[in-house]
Every structure is written in structure tokens, then in C-alpha cells.
Chains A and B, each alone.
Chain A
Amino acid sequence: MRNKISFITLLGIVLLFCPAIQAAESANDVLKETKALYKKAAKLQGAWVTTGKLIKKSEAALKKGSKAKALTLAKKARSEARMSIAQAEEQARKWAEPAYIER
């Protein structure tokens, strides 16, 4: 009994850190989050073209069953979506005509 428990525990720990098994659920989670961020960026008039393309590529990879690739792409898209929102929010506060304009 103890052997079985130890084995199952060890298997569980290994599987927890096994990206290939994680990937299916995670890519979906990351994609869901990223799409919401992308929508927010678009609402702020600050979305990036590449973010949309990465989302589509990730979804395509997921459909093909390339879970790890889908996850990598989804994470890249999420990172871009966050940067685009940060830029849009900063610009909303700090946009200005150039300093070299003389008045």
C-alpha cells in the first residue's frame, strides 16, 4: 500500500511539472486571458496587429494538437497585450505635441 501511495505521489509531482500535460489546459487559460486583454487594448485604441496574429496562431496550434507551441504563442500574445495596454494608458496621460514646437 505504502509503495503504491509513494509511487502515485511521485507520479503526481512529476506530472505537475510536466509541461506537455499542463499545456492543454494552460494554453486555453492563457488564450482566454489574452483575448480579454486584447479587447481592452483595442478599446483604448492601442491594440497591436501582431498580438491578434499571435492569438490566431496559438488557436491554430491548439486545433492541430500542438499544445506546447500553442502555450508559447499564447504567452507571447499575452505579454504583447499587456505592453500595448501599458503604452495606451501611459500615452493617455502623457501624450503631448513635440517639445521643438515654438509658440
Chain B
Amino acid sequence: MKRIFIIVLALMTSHIIAPIVWAGPSEDLVAYQKYFKNKFPDLSAVDLSNGMYNFNQDKREQWEEIMSFPPYEIAIDNGKALFTTPFKNGKTYASCFKNGGVAIAHTYPRFDKKHGKVITLAAVLNECRVKNSEKPLQYLKGKLAAILAYMADTSRGKPISVNVPDDPAALAAYKDGKRIYFTRRGPRAFACYHCHWEAAGSRIRGNELSTAVGQATHFPTYRSKWGGMGTIQRRYKGCMKNIGAKPLKQQTEAMNNLEYFHTFLSNGIPMNAPGTRF
């Protein structure tokens, strides 16, 4: 009787204490990526970054045909030209980045300790412009997306490396992004994970659903629906609207925290951006 009582008490305690004692981002990552490894044992990390094209042979073949002349290449060329053209004051974007902005895109978003918040590569580009007396560019698409396409291309093949430092504000931002990701929204009460975790690989209406792990690797991306390039936050907004939720505003704390958590999910997976989706 006493033994049973101890066992029951131990079980109850572990169920109560385990959720309270949160392990941290690294432990989250292991658990989350393990889930997708188990669900799709035949898909490699690189495969995961190809998303829905793992789950529909017809669409994959069409996509592979498109990829023989990738529609994002124009954006890369334009982006490079914009990146390397000096501002009116003679300085360039390269002056605002380590390594001149080459092969750093895979390390964003970052936690800015000085300002105590997450900062996206898009925001750093605009900060650079303002610092050099230029007007900021519109987020989500256009010239900014083209510059991001160029910068991402210089990181192609490098593993996504979003760092969540052991800092209370960084952990709070990570947790906020996690909260947003796992929160139901819209009249259909969908959270991001509903489509891209348990339902990944299945079809909703006419489209197979991509896995959460791997998604962030191919942004910015060219989408046929857009007829052009778009950033990851452009896609978040579109997705939120699709499920009937009023989209969060780009480059707000909430949206940046979401990007922080969501990109973190793909840590270790090679960047494969810019990408193409039709």
C-alpha cells in the first residue's frame, strides 16, 4: 500500500512539476525535431526544406521543372545590384554588417541585447538605410525582398543558426514566439502547429501541408501566387488571413518573436533560399 502511494505520488509530482520546470530552447529543439524525424523517417534535413513537394509527386515534378530556370534569380541579381550600389553619402549596406553582409543571413533573426528585443535582417537593412540618411524600404516585398534574396543566396547551404542566449529578455522573446505559434486563432481556431505538425504531409483542400521544421530555410521566396518575391513575414500574414485571423503587423514585437521561434525550429538545417513555391 505504501509503495503504491509513493509511486502514485511520484507520477503526480512529475506530471505537475515537469511542465512548470521548462527545459529551455535547446531541449525544445531536440524534442520538436525528433517529432518530425519520427514522423518522416525517410526524409533528410535537406528534404524537409522542400516542404510540400515531398508529398505530391505531380507537383514535385512541376516544381523541379520550374527550378531548372528558378524565377528568383532575377531577384538575386536585382538584390545584389541594390546591395552594392552606394547610398547618396557614398557608404554601402556592407558597412552595416559583419563580413560585409555576406554569408550571415542564416543567423537571423537575432536577439539584440542592447535594445532587449528580436531584430530581423529586414529591420537591420532599414536601420542601415536610415543611419545613412536614406528612406526605409517597404517591408514584405519589392526591393527589400530582393536584397534579402541576394543575402540569403550568399548563405545557401549554411545551417540555420538562430541563437537564443541565456538572457531573460531573449528567453521571454522566444517564449512569446512559441506562445503565438501554439495559439489558436481565427474562427476555425487553428494554431500554426495544427497544419504543420500532426497534419504535415496530409492534404487540406488541394494542397499538401509542409513540415514546420524546414519551412524557414527557403525564405525569402518567390511564390507564383504573389508573382514575385516575399519575405517570411509576408507569408505569415497570408497564412493568418487564410485561416480568418486578422494578420499581425509586420516588424512588430509579436511578429518578430514569431519569426524568432519559427526560424529556430529549423536550426541545423541548411539554408535553401531564396526558394520557389507555386
Contact = CB atoms under 8 A, between A and B. Distances in A.
B180 interface: yes
Contacts of A45: 180, 183, 185, 248, 254
Given A46-B185, A87-B184, A103 B23 contact: yes
B245 A47 contact: yes
A48 B244 CA distance: 6
Interface string A30-72: 0000000000011001111111100000000000000000000
Given A96-B182, A101-B32, A87 B246 contact: no
A102 B23 contact: no
A100 B198 contact: yes
Interface string B33-54: 0110000000000000000000
A95 B187 contact: no
B246 A91 contact: no
A95 to B, nearest CB: 5
Contacts of B18: 103
A97 interface: yes
A47 B246 contact: yes
A91 B184 contact: yes
A98 B31 contact: no
Contacts of B244: 48-50
A101 B184 contact: no
Given A47-B245, A48-B244, A80 B23 contact: no
A97 B182 contact: yes
A83 B186 CA distance: 10
Interface of A: 41-42, 45-52, 80, 83-84, 87-88, 91-92, 95-98, 100-103
Interface of B: 18, 23, 27, 31-32, 34-35, 178-180, 182-187, 189, 191, 193, 197-198, 241, 244-246, 248, 254
